[in-house]
Structure 1
Amino acid sequence: MDHRQPPSAQPFDAADHPGHRGGLGPSVRFDHCPWLFEKEATEEQRAAQRERQRSLDGDSEVGEGCYVAESAAVLPDLLRLGDDSYIAAHAYVTGTLTTGTDCTLNPFTVVRGTVSLGTGVRVGAHTSLLAFNHSTAPDRPIHRQPQTSRGITVGDDVWIGSHVVVVDGVTIGDHCVIGAGAVVTKDVPAWTVAAGNPARRIRDRREPAGRRRETGGADREATGPDVLAGFADTARAQAADLLARSWNGDRYTDRPGVAPTVRAHCDAVEIADLLLSSAPAQLDRAEHIERLTSLQDPETGLVPELGERPPPMDADGFTGEGPALYHVLSVGYALDLLGAAFPRPVRGVRDMTAPQLVARLERLPWRDQAWTAGAWIDSWATAAHWNLRHPDGAGLAPGTLEALFGWLLTRADPWTGMWGSPSGSAGRLQVVNGYYRLTRGSFAQFGVPAPHPERVVDAVLDHARDTRYFGAGRENACNVLDVAHPLWLCARQSGLGGGGEGGYRSAEIRGWAEQRLTAVLARWQDGRGFGFGPGTAGPGPEPGLQGTEMWLAIVWLLADLLGRSEALGYRPRGVHRPEPAAGA
């Protein structure tokens, strides 16, 4: 580089150091120093830049205050450039690139494949983010090998120095710094300062530079035992106020200002049991039991939503949709935690024959709604579990439970270990989320090993790199739970060695769990708990009972994948219990 190279490029390259004007023409100067454009550009130059942005290839959207260098080869299939971001001179961009606000690709950067950048990301000159790879089978030359792509995800507030290479499949967590010349081949947890080839952790960014802690490696992690114990202590200390916040004087609401629901009452019971080892204080235990048991419809054995009629039954005697399906789980386990049970069996499951069940399984929407199919099985199998425990002894028709597991074991895809098909629009979302619901109610609840566990780990880790659901600021409780539980379940099956060292893809599992756990712990809001997640899915971002109940279980699963769950001092016993249910 000549004298115009920013002096901070050693050992890290500054992303937006003021440039030297010298005698360069305005287009060259702005291309290399685009941070000058907003202050110095003429109206004619601004018009030319707007035309440049309009003429970009592919499905491209460029935010306000952005700059795309004329000399950059920007040839995307899809580009979403957030406000106040720029692509500088001679950058090469193909594939799918999405960024948050205030992101910078400095001169000669290369971005290829599917890459997601969070907010405030600085990518130094001559750095390559290569989100694709070639297969290397020996049966054909490399240039004839098919390409694969898992994507690269970079979180918020990240500085990637000059001449860095980030390879396909890597996630770099929030607040990281990657030193100049590093080759990043593995996930980098949040707050990490990393450098080298291959890149290795130097320190936690929150530690003073040049000083290392003298404690063990786990204690240096942002999710070490001390941090987890402190989080759990905070949650326990605030649990009573959090529950009181969602009590409207008569019933539980997910959060203040919304209507009461059956699930809100059940979530309150789960949170109180998990954190306080007691029933919620708004009612005594007997009153909780009476409230919940009185909700069961005497004819069907199902629990409709408050103020609603029981759902219509299908020809085989069981319902196919609606909140009553999930209430089989939530009310059943809330009563179980309170030391009680449904007073009546679930009639449609009790009376369904094995041929009727198989016919229903064949009709479920596996092709395009695998989550709906998995949720139905979760509800049916959980109702079977409660019926088998019911004191009247008439739990199920002969052979139905065997028919369920026989059908599932013979229909699992041996390449993924799952049921259903991915789609071009949603990827593996329906399949993975459906797998969680299906296996939660069947294999996990009844203690039966799930088929093809290594293939499941492959499929789930591949899905976990989909930036549409796991990009910065896009995670919700369902999507994280539906990855964490399958990884936990399959990592503990025979031959996989768990999530510890030496297990199947254990380093990747642990890296993913570390990043998610760091992010989750930072989302707790004092006195309010956890929000479900961004966007309009589920209850949304406002903290409430559902988000708190789900994320508390997720924290345990992630911590257990890392071998640190004992530090939390709690273990889920309800809907999200890790071991088979008692009596299953």
Structure 2
Amino acid sequence: MQQSVSDDGLFDHCPWLFGKQASKGQRAAQQERQKRLLGAGQVRFGEGCFVAATAAVYPKRLHLGDRSYIAAHAYVTDDVRTGADCSVNPFAVVRGTVTLGDGVRIGAHSSLLGFNHGAAPDLPVHRQPVTSRGITVGDDVWIGSHVVVVDGVTIGDHCVVGAGAVVTKDLPAWTVAAGNPARRIRDRRDARGKAPRSAAPLPDRLPEFAETARAQAAGLLARCWLPDAGRYADQPGSEPTVRAHCDAVEIADLLLGTAPPQLPAAEHAARLRALQDPATGLIPEYGEAPTQPGPAGPAGLPDDGACAYHVLCVGYALDLLGSSFAHPLRPVRDTTADQLVRRLAALPWRDRAWRAGSWVDAWATSAHWNRRLGGEPAEPGALEALFGWLHTHVDPWTGMWGSPTREGGRLQMVNGYYRLTRGSFAQFDLPVPYAERVIDTVLDHARDARHFSPGRENACNVLDVAHPLWLCARQTSHRAEEARAWAADQLAAALRRWHPGQGFAFGPRPDGTGPGRAPGLQGTEMWLAIIWLLADLLGLADLLGYRPRGIHRPEPAPAGESG
């Protein structure tokens, strides 16, 4: 890309001065600079960003958070993403897959190299394949000058890396490190004489969090209630949805031990029961027509979307309210074993394993509700055919169904595994196959910086690792210490995400869809369950004083009649 020379080299070398001192012409030149970069790949700039004219920036993907900058003669390539208030100072090199949290400072002449070359003896070095595990840097991190960080390293929140260090291994949060290779010198908090309140031991923080959540539960439910419509929205200002009503029921049950205070429990149940289409048993979104079953039976169960998820969330909300569906879910009740096997084989396991797993979840959960109503879950042999097919098609090397993809790595496979096993093996109290291989796959996936790094984690991705680890831990102690270490880190981070009076935000999604960073009912319901699962992995769940009883219940679903 053709580089231009700025009118004043001061801002290239001292970009922190640009916001207050730049002239109108210099601001226009910077806007033009960023505009040119927008055509160089998947590039996105937050508010108040600066990229020096003399910086060599050749990204495949570049996301700069608000008030972040790249200074003079920096070299930035490949896939680099930053949070807010980050700096790549003069002559720094940031290449490969690198993800920075908020408030990260990279000193002059430092190199973050999120890729590596092979070194096998059978090929010349210049022909060796290039690999990339990625570098992840947390929030509030200072990397001094002339530091080298190699591929695969994670630097935790609040770390300080001394000048000239070579970081070859992960650094836990609050570490002050120096040397070659970098070693821990001390805890950064020691300089202040005591740890901040947020760093208190988890056994102390969990009861305090739960008490706060319970005290604020009624208010966060009220802020999402639309009295004129008599319905719940996920967030203030958004449209009411069926799921939001169910999330409100789950949150109230967890934190208040009762129905949401906006209506009596019987009225909540009556409104949810009335949503079910008598002809199909399916539950459409407000204002939408019900999906009609097709001639093949299982084709009548939607592949994805609100109607499929309502099988789960409405069913469990009614269960919490002491009620049940009024009608059987007929597309599943009428499914024969042969029809089900054909449908399973046709699901998009290779490239959309989440969609395939979610379909299995919805089908198995529908069968459960049909059984709870006192009838047959499906045609004779269909339920047995489901588990037979799953056992004979699981990959013994990963313990999962589906395959990794180039775009998302193991994301589809792991997230699909959670949905599939939640509705089938866990709900029907059956052991999962190859539990040790599942743990290996999930822990490897949890190191993928594309999905697990500061500013990128969302409730779905964390839940879909936490639940398989928790589920498999009931069958094996394989890599238990690693699983607990991951759970402890995630639990500490999750507790910090609570918005006073508003609950939890779902979290960012790469495609920009979903509830995102604003707190709402979906994020609150999911993170409360995630916190319980993580705490239970650590043996601390009793400190919360709540236990999920709905869609994320740890026990198998009872088979007896409901309501």
Write out aligned runs for 1:92-241 (5 A).
92-106=75-89, 109-133=92-116, 146-185=129-168, 187-188=170-171, 190-194=173-177, 197=181, 199-200=183-184, 202-203=186-187, 207=189, 209=191, 211=193, 221=199, 224-241=202-219
Match of 2:4 in 1: none
**Structure 2: runs of 5+ lacking an equivalent:** 1-6
Instruction: State the Cα distance separating 1:223 from its structure 2 match.
Output: 5.9
SS at match of 1:388: helix
Match of 2:414 in 1: 432
Match of 1:327 in 2: 310
Match of 1:260 in 2: 240
Instruction: State the Cα distance separating 1:75 from its structure 2 match.
Output: 5.5
SS at match of 1:446: coil
Structure 1, residues 502-559: CA drift from partner, whole Å, max 9, x if none? xxxx1xx445434433333222222221222246422333322112111111222233
Looking at structure 2, the residues matched to 414 and 226 of structure 1 have their Cα atoms a distance apart, in angstroms, of 41
Answer whether contact 2:33 2:53 (CA < 8 A) is retained. Answer: no
Match of 2:465 in 1: 483
Answer whether contact 1:189 1:514 (CA < 8 A) is retained. Answer: no
Answer whether contact 1:252 1:260 (CA < 8 A) is retained. Answer: yes
Match of 2:50 in 1: 66
Pick the aligned partner of 2:493 from 502, 510, 519: 519
Looking at structure 2, the residues matched to 248 and 81 of structure 1 have their Cα atoms a distance apart, in angstroms, of 37
Residue 545 (1) aligns with residue 534 (2):
no
SS at match of 1:122: strand
Instruction: State the Cα distance separating 1:188 from its structure 2 match.
Output: 4.4
Pick the aligned partner of 2:544 from 537, 548, 568: 568
Looking at structure 2, the residues matched to 295 and 40 of structure 1 have their Cα atoms a distance apart, in angstroms, of 59
SS at match of 1:332: helix
Structure 1, residues 8-49: CA drift from partner, whole Å, max 9, x if none? xxxxxxxxxxxxxxxxxx9999877666788699989x9799
Looking at structure 2, the residues matched to 267 and 359 of structure 1 have their Cα atoms a distance apart, in angstroms, of 34
Stretch moving more, 176-185 or 477-486: 176-185
Amino acid at match of 1:283: L
Residue 420 (1) aligns with residue 402 (2):
yes
Answer whether contact 2:79 2:98 (CA < 8 A) is retained. Answer: yes
Stretch moving more, 98-107 or 378-387: 98-107
Answer whether contact 2:435 2:476 (CA < 8 A) is retained. Answer: no
Answer whether contact 1:106 1:125 (CA < 8 A) is retained. Answer: yes
Structure 1, residues 290-325: CA drift from partner, whole Å, max 9, x if none? 333333333322222234332121222232244221
Residue 378 (1) aligns with residue 352 (2):
no
Match of 2:339 in 1: 356
SS at match of 2:438: helix
Residue 398 (1) aligns with residue 372 (2):
no
TM-score (norm 1): 0.80
SS at match of 2:226: coil
SS at match of 1:579: coil
Structure 1, residues 57-112: CA drift from partner, whole Å, max 9, x if none? 96385856634485x765654444555512445x5544322334543334554433
Looking at structure 1, the residues matched to 240 and 44 of structure 2 have their Cα atoms a distance apart, in angstroms, of 42
Looking at structure 1, the residues matched to 268 and 445 of structure 2 have their Cα atoms a distance apart, in angstroms, of 40
Answer whether contact 1:150 1:462 (CA < 8 A) is retained. Answer: no
Answer whether contact 1:187 1:511 (CA < 8 A) is retained. Answer: no
Amino acid at match of 1:244: A
Looking at structure 2, the residues matched to 519 and 92 of structure 1 have their Cα atoms a distance apart, in angstroms, of 31
Answer whether contact 1:418 1:435 (CA < 8 A) is retained. Answer: yes
Looking at structure 2, the residues matched to 338 and 94 of structure 1 have their Cα atoms a distance apart, in angstroms, of 54
Structure 1, residues 445-490: CA drift from partner, whole Å, max 9, x if none? 2232333334433443444344444444333322222232223323
Structure 1, residues 161-185: CA drift from partner, whole Å, max 9, x if none? 2344433333334443334455545
Looking at structure 2, the residues matched to 52 and 252 of structure 1 have their Cα atoms a distance apart, in angstroms, of 41
Pick the aligned partner of 1:533 from 507, 510, 517: 507
Answer whether contact 1:88 1:105 (CA < 8 A) is retained. Answer: no
Looking at structure 1, the residues matched to 44 and 220 of structure 2 have their Cα atoms a distance apart, in angstroms, of 42
Match of 1:276 in 2: 256
Match of 1:296 in 2: 276
Amino acid at match of 1:344: H
Amino acid at match of 2:150: V
Residue 243 (1) aligns with residue 228 (2):
no
Residue 316 (1) aligns with residue 296 (2):
yes
SS at match of 2:380: coil
Stretch moving more, 427-436 or 73-82: 73-82
Structure 1, residues 269-307: CA drift from partner, whole Å, max 9, x if none? 111111122222233333333333333333322222234
Looking at structure 1, the residues matched to 440 and 334 of structure 2 have their Cα atoms a distance apart, in angstroms, of 38
Looking at structure 1, the residues matched to 438 and 119 of structure 2 have their Cα atoms a distance apart, in angstroms, of 23
Instruction: State the Cα distance separating 1:151 from its structure 2 match.
Output: 1.1
Answer whether contact 1:328 1:383 (CA < 8 A) is retained. Answer: yes
Amino acid at match of 2:438: V
Task: Tell me: CA distance 1:495–1:513, structure 2 relative to 1, closer, same or farther (3 Å).
Answer: closer
Instruction: State the Cα distance separating 1:407 from its structure 2 match.
Output: 1.5
SS at match of 2:232: coil
Looking at structure 1, the residues matched to 457 and 393 of structure 2 have their Cα atoms a distance apart, in angstroms, of 30
Looking at structure 2, the residues matched to 48 and 347 of structure 1 have their Cα atoms a distance apart, in angstroms, of 61
Root-mean-square deviation (Å): 3.8
**Structure 1: runs of 5+ lacking an equivalent:** 1-25
Amino acid at match of 1:516: Q
SS at match of 2:427: helix
Looking at structure 2, the residues matched to 445 and 135 of structure 1 have their Cα atoms a distance apart, in angstroms, of 45
Task: Tell me: CA distance 1:54–1:445, structure 2 relative to 1, closer, same or farther (3 Å).
Answer: same
